[in-house]
Chain A
Amino acid sequence: MKISVQWLNDYIDHKLKPQDLAERLTMAGLEVEEMTAFGATQVLQMEITPNRPDCLSVLGIAREVSAICQKHLKFPQIKKLPNASPKISISIDDKQACGRYIGAVIKDVQVKESPTWLKERIEALGLKSINNIVDITNFCLMEMGQPLHAFDYDKLTGGQIQVRRARSGEELKTLDGQTHKLSSDFLVIADGKQPVALAGIMGGYDSQITVETKNILLESAHFSFGLIRRTTRAVGLNSDSSYRFERGVHWDTIERCSNRAIDLILNIAGGKLDARRDVVSQKPKAFKRTITLPIQEINDLLGFFPSEAKCKSILSKLGFGVKSAKKGVFKIDVPDHRQDVAQPADVIEEIARIIGFDHLPMTVPQIKALNIPEDSNRSNLKKSLYQRLLAQGCDEIITYSMTNQKNLEKSSQSTNPPLKIVNPLSQEQELMRPSLLPSFLSVVLGNVNRSEKNLRFFEFGRIYSQGAEKETIGILLAGEKIPDWRSFKREPVDIFDLKGIVEQTLMPLSKGDVSFRLAEFPALEIGQSVQCNIGSLCVGYLGRVSANILNKWDIKTVPVFFAQLDLQEMYGINRPPIKFVPIVDFPSVVRDVSLAVKLETAYDQIREICFSFGGDILKSVRFVEQYVGDKIQTGYRGIVFSLTYQSFQGTLKEETVNAVHEKICNALIAQLGAVKR
């Protein structure tokens, strides 16, 4: 909202420089966003918070300035209106939507250019001067905050005013030249035949005031803010009027403002008040509110005691009635333009903001966080997983939680019905994602298109289904392995790169008890689609994103591996505290084993057999390498691993190691059909 300083000065002699005025208003909660010169005056661009509809006028701001500077306010003088007959046909059909309608018919006006002072004032606020009648309605709107509208009375069929819902099929061309199709959701002002204004929003084109206009009907009314808001949204039309109706107008000002406009019109445009009628369909209860405020409460809330006299003078300048009921207690009458003030804290805020928050003291708070259950288990787990991902060279990404049907289908993630957004911003973001994969693939696509092909990403993000959310971790590798200039090989990433990251990340939780087995997951290539378990609990999946899916995403030339881990499940895993294991100083013995095993034999089977025959001296089994090729009989692959033996009791004797080692080798040969190489 714009306020011209020149106009403001008509009502209050604040003696402040415009710059200081702007500063004081801002620091009292009426933010001046910008100050610009317009002719001889400065214009303040103000941001008024939605709780202060009383400040949406020059007089409203003047009242605030009066409290800030402790100066009296000069109200405009309105002459007593000449007598007029109540013979105007006004009917209010929708009594919920329109509580009051004052119509005044002024005959034989002279529509012409406005006098300079009037033009200056409204033009400073960015309004275009149209003619004296329209300018006066705008002037009064800005002065008092009550929207007015003037119709060409002779253009109203039957000289009638009906406040009603529009009928389907009706249309209205508004002042801005746009034609709107109307429905019963719209409140209109109609004459005997058709709509002539979108109530509270904008007048009709055909009944506007022109130089030919002789007789006018001046409207000042009360429209319900809910309906106005819905209508402005539906037609995409905002006006100074609708802005004020949406925030609520003041009952008494409806009449005061009408009278002010009639007075000005008679003065400036001449003519004669022919008729005037005030139709009240729904009168609100008279507002009366008294708040009891023990002075001690001011200190309790602010940590500061303003003087009693100061409190009284601030409140009375803002229009509050202040009485000291007994010692130490204020009785405060709230004026009806300040219905936002409802409790002691609200009154204290009024005092504090006029004094200025920057003038209030500062203290160091005594912080006691005793009763908040800090879920340190969760946050510690999250932290350690997060750090391990970073340490393994993965960059954290943050992606939108929304996705769309098309992306889900492209990622083969559309099996379960996803959670829909009722009012999406666009089709692009119509669904809450049930999986992190589409988000990751779109990030890959973006980067690959910019020639960034070697990607290592992770995200701690939520997925959504069934009206609930779940914390998950996504990990993605694409392109080549981490380069090393000492070797010329540039190899694409493979599933073991991803598996390694997953194993290493989960280590604090799994303590090594993590297992992987083939399982089918949509979007992952069969044979490279793996379920990940900690103990017996499935915590996620990983694998190679199938070529088919990458094609659909138009991701070319790079292999992509993806894992999604369920953080929520991991929270449930009990982590035993770390216990120190004494370091054994007795020497260990390492023996390598080289076997040809059947292709279908899993390395895990080998490990299991080793440990089941290793007694208490086999400390570890370490994989060394595998060989697949023509130097080995078909149906077999070569595997090399090394076994470490060690005892807590003493130095192992060669015979002891040999005995165990032989047992293991024999078992491998017997149980797996392996052949020594």
Chain B
Amino acid sequence: MRWDFQKIQNDIQEDFKSVLDEKTLESFRIKYLGKKGLISEIYGSFPSLPCEEKAVVGKGANQLKVLATQLVDQKLATLQSKTSQEGRPAIDVTLPGISRPVGHAHVLTQTINEICEIFEKLGFVIHDSPEIETEFNNFTALNIPVDHPSRDSFDTFYIDWPDPTNKGRKLLLRSQTSPGQIRVMQKCKPPMAVVIPGKVYRPDAVDASHSFMFHQIEGLMVDDAVRFSDLKGLLTAFCQEFFGSDIRMRFRPHFFPFTEPSAEVDVYWKAKDAWLEILGCGMVNPKVFDAVGYPKNKYKGLAFGLGVERMAMLKYGINDIRLFYENDVRFLNQF
């Protein structure tokens, strides 16, 4: 045998002991693993070997290659980690990272989105409706009689612009999102299911719980056969999704001119040990269908409206409605 594998192996290990830095490592690598190194030489002798030796030499050369490669890789790794630490100050990895700030969505928008998304999942479509309205859409079509107190200028802002559809009358700022119902029904035929979020305005003096501008979300569903039991089912599903499945709620009879029957929904608030009203709802009053020109006795509908500020105040424990519009960054950045 031309090659004494045991001896070469010992030489390798002996030689390796003198490898101390990158330079000596490189000469070690060249000696054994280089193109003209010992192991290449062994492989190079392969063609001239007698058949019976080929297997033994092949195996021996492979083992040497594995050994030398392992030694080189290990040494390289330790040398590199040493050099990277040497001469450099330690990094204080507890210093803050550099980040571009991400903006904060306003808590009212977050609340509107959260509520609308629940209804979207249930099959409703989100719709937009204008803030400047006619008396017809804001009152008459909603079965709010001409002499109803809420038509008085005390409960609705009128703007100094003539109503093109009603001679001698002025336009107004919607005092509720319900005129959105009228617009949708005038535009489309049932079946329909729609939610309309937006700003509404009422001349209420500002205090911790009143604002002359606030947000509502209106819901409307019309079809051939919609029942009060559907309204209960729908709003129960909503409340469980929004407040959690263990929320206790109740439907309390109430009065709205545009629904019949009408109800308010209360949820039980453990922290306050009280029922808190969160939304108004009911079955669409047939007079509203008359007002939008739907054929008599053809459709049934359910409708609901909820106050966004109230929901947000409940959910986050905000105690003053004015905070929503002050836009103090110390408030905005909390959500």
B177 adjacent to chain A (CB < 8 Å): no
Question: Which residue of B122, B158, B261, B327 contacts A446 across the interface (Cβ within 8 Å)?
Answer: B327
Query: How many residues does chain A have at the interface if contact means C-beta atoms less than 8 Å apart?
Result: 90
Q: How far is the CB of A476 from chain B (nearest CB, A)?
A: 11
Which residues does chain A contribute within 8 Å of B38, judged by CB atoms? none
Residue of B at shortest CB range from A361?
B229
Contact A369 B193 (CB under 8 A): yes
Which residues does chain A contribute within 8 Å of B262, judged by CB atoms? 349
Chain-A contact segment, one of B8-16, B28-36, B197-205: B197-205
Contact A467 B159 (CB under 8 A): yes
Residue of B at shortest CB range from A371?
B188
Q: A27-B253, A362-B233, A400-B213 are in contact. Are A484 and B98 (CB under 8 A)?
A: yes
A368 adjacent to chain B (CB < 8 Å): yes
Contact A402 B102 (CB under 8 A): no
Contact A233 B154 (CB under 8 A): yes
Residue of A at shortest CB range from B123?
A367
A659 adjacent to chain B (CB < 8 Å): no
Which residues does chain A contribute within 8 Å of B54, judged by CB atoms? none
Q: How far is the CB of B197 from chain A (nearest CB, A)?
A: 11
Contact B147 A226 (CB under 8 A): yes
Give the docked Cα–Cα distance between A394 and B102 (Å): 7
B91 adjacent to chain A (CB < 8 Å): no
Residue of B at shortest CB range from A458?
B103
Contact A423 B253 (CB under 8 A): no
Most buried by A among B131, B184, B332: B332
A379 adjacent to chain B (CB < 8 Å): yes
Contact with B along A49-68 (1 / 0, CB 8 A): 11110000000000000000
Q: How far is the CB of B194 from chain A (nearest CB, A)?
A: 5
Q: A49-B255, A389-B103 are in contact. Are A452 and B152 (CB under 8 A)?
A: no
Which residues does chain A contribute within 8 Å of B204, judged by CB atoms? 425
Residues of A349-363 whose CB lies within 8 A of B: 349, 352-353, 357-358, 360-363
Most buried by B among A343, A423, A443, A462: A423
Which residues does chain B contribute within 8 Å of A484, judged by CB atoms? 98
Question: Which residue of B187, B194, B286, B300 contacts A343 across the interface (Cβ within 8 Å)?
Answer: B286
Contact B160 A422 (CB under 8 A): yes
B283 adjacent to chain A (CB < 8 Å): yes
Most buried by A among B109, B236, B329: B329
Give the docked Cα–Cα distance between A577 and B136 (Å): 40
Contact with A along B277-313 (1 / 0, CB 8 A): 0000001011100000000000010100000000000
Q: A365-B234, A370-B192, A393-B102 are in contact. Are A398 and B96 (CB under 8 A)?
A: no
Contact B158 A423 (CB under 8 A): yes
Contact B227 A300 (CB under 8 A): yes
Q: How far is the CB of B155 from chain A (nearest CB, A)?
A: 10
Residue of A at shortest CB range from B194?
A372
Residue of A at shortest CB range from B191?
A368
Contact B125 A372 (CB under 8 A): yes
Contact A50 B255 (CB under 8 A): yes
Question: Which residue of B201, B260, B333 contacts A401 across the interface (Cβ within 8 Å)?
Answer: B201
Residue of B at shortest CB range from A31?
B252
Q: A29-B255, A395-B329, A397-B327 are in contact. Are A482 and B101 (CB under 8 A)?
A: yes
Q: A229-B152, A367-B123, A396-B109 are in contact. Are A447 and B194 (CB under 8 A)?
A: no
Contact A367 B193 (CB under 8 A): yes
Which residues does chain A contribute within 8 Å of B190, judged by CB atoms? 371
Give the docked Cα–Cα distance between A367 and B119 (Å): 11
Residue of A at shortest CB range from B122?
A367
B141 adjacent to chain A (CB < 8 Å): no
Q: How far is the CB of A111 from chain B (nearest CB, A)?
A: 37
Number of CB contacts from chain A to chain B under 8 A: 257
Most buried by B among A303, A392, A468: A303
Chain-A contact segment, one of B41-49, B57-65, B218-226: B218-226
Which residues does chain B contribute within 8 Å of A363, judged by CB atoms? 227, 229-230, 232-233
Which residues does chain B contribute within 8 Å of A26, judged by CB atoms? 252
Contact B130 A357 (CB under 8 A): no
Contact A393 B227 (CB under 8 A): no
Which residues does chain B contribute within 8 Å of A357, judged by CB atoms? 228, 232, 250-253, 261, 263
A450 adjacent to chain B (CB < 8 Å): yes
Contact A397 B223 (CB under 8 A): no
B5 adjacent to chain A (CB < 8 Å): no
Contact B103 A390 (CB under 8 A): yes
Give the docked Cα–Cα distance between A423 and B232 (Å): 39
Residue of B at shortest CB range from A363?
B229
Residues of B148-201 whose CB lies within 8 A of A: 148-149, 152-154, 157-162, 170-171, 173, 184, 187-194, 199, 201
Contact with A along B86-117 (1 / 0, CB 8 A): 00000000011010111111101100000000
Q: How far is the CB of B276 from chain A (nearest CB, A)?
A: 12
A584 adjacent to chain B (CB < 8 Å): no
- 23 A-B pairs with CB atoms under 8 Å apart are A29-B252, A29-B253, A51-B255, A304-B228, A353-B253, A360-B251, A368-B193, A369-B192, A370-B191, A371-B188, A374-B127, A395-B103, A396-B103, A398-B108, A398-B327, A401-B201, A429-B212, A447-B328, A450-B330, A452-B328, A457-B327, A469-B131, A484-B98
Q: Can you name 13 extra interface pairs (CB under 8 A) apart from A300-B227, A468-B132? A: A345-B285, A349-B261, A353-B261, A365-B231, A368-B191, A371-B188, A371-B192, A372-B125, A372-B127, A398-B325, A420-B159, A443-B326, A469-B132
B residues lining the A interface (CB < 8 Å): 95-96, 98, 100-106, 108-109, 122-128, 130-132, 147-149, 152-154, 157-162, 170-171, 173, 184, 187-194, 199, 201, 203-205, 212-213, 221, 223, 225-234, 236-237, 250-255, 257, 260-263, 283, 285-287, 300, 302, 324-330, 332-333
A residues lining the B interface (CB < 8 Å): 26-29, 31, 49-52, 225-226, 229, 233, 246, 299-304, 343, 345-346, 348-349, 352-353, 357-358, 360-375, 378-379, 386, 389-402, 419-425, 429, 432, 443, 446-447, 450, 452, 455-458, 462, 464, 466-469, 482, 484-486
Shortest beta-carbon contacts, A-B, top 7? A303-B229, A29-B253, A467-B161, A367-B123, A303-B227, A49-B255, A365-B230
